[in-house]
Amino acid sequence: MLHSRKALSPEQINAQLLLYPAWELQGDVLFRAFKFDDFSAAWAFMQQVAQIAETLDHHPDWRNVYDLVEIRLSTHECNGISALDFEMIRKIELLGS
């Protein structure tokens, strides 16, 4: 399934963020930190997110320190945030369900 890589307007971004209150806009990226019980749980989560990234051909900027995973999303092709970023968020959020 293809997802638009066209930049969303600030209004569209804010409307989407209402659906994902754990995520926040930091400048021109979407950000969320995930805390796990230990490194193994954090690593397992990152492996699942990596599979999503490969499927969508959309790769996060992320950081892992022991039990913490920080994810930053933006769409380089449009120098902003696109529907693809929110599709990735939707799939990431399903991992916790």
Q: Catalytic residue numbers? A: 54, 58-59, 76-77, 85
70: CB partners within 8 A, 6+ apart: 31, 32, 33, 34, 62, 63, 64
The set of residues, in sequence order, having a beta carbon less than 8 Å from that of 95 and lying 6+ positions away, is 45, 48, 49
For residues 56 and 96, give the distance between their C-alpha atoms in angstroms, rounded to a whole number.
Answer: 19
